[in-house]
Amino acid sequence: MLLDMKAHVEGIRAMIFKGFYYLDIESNSADRDRAKLFASFAEILTPLVKCYGSEASLGVVAQAIQVLGGVGYTKEYPVEQYLRDSKILTIWEGTSFIHANDLVGRKMRLKEGKPFMAWQAHVKATIDAMEGTPGFEKEMKSLNRGYQCMEDVT
């Protein structure tokens, strides 16, 4: 279970980093077409980051309570408050359902789906470039599984 928490933290950290990377290119690239493309990538990634972070936080905090046992459920430790705070994240910034609708209903169809298809190609190029790289086998397998799901939805 603790390894699952580490994977959640690494997953959200990577998605946030990638989103800021896209925004950095948008702000600093001299190539305006490239800047617009990466801005659209950041728009696509935003509902994914919000939803994943909110949903993953519930499991991470629940695991923290489990580690502390029954006392973790009391006000003696702050994790009981963190659980309430984590639940509001899924509501406050929009429910997971709203983020899913934003992604599927808006982002995938934006400009006839061209930015989303370009983003998918960008993800696939990353998978292809990193395939077989020592130390990244597990990550590329996971990314490829997510990519295949995305392909199925598209």
pLDDT tens-digit series, residues 24-46: 999 999 999 999 999 999 999 98
Residue 142's pLDDT is 85
Q: Is this prediction's pTM over 0.85?
A: no
Q: Does the active-site annotation cover 10? A: no
Q: How confident is the model at residue 94 (pLDDT cuts 50, 70, 90)?
A: low
What's the rounded Cα separation, in Å, for the pair 132 and 98? 37
Per the residue annotation, which of 93, 112, 131, 139 is the catalytic one? 93
Q: Give the start-to-end residue ranges of the domains of the chain.
A: 2-107, 112-154
Residue 8's pLDDT is 64
Buried b (16+ CB within 10 A) or exposed e, 78-95: ebbebbeebeebbeeebe
What's the rounded Cα separation, in Å, for the pair 127 and 139? 9
Looking at the domain that runs over 2-107, which CATH code has it been given?
1.20.140.10
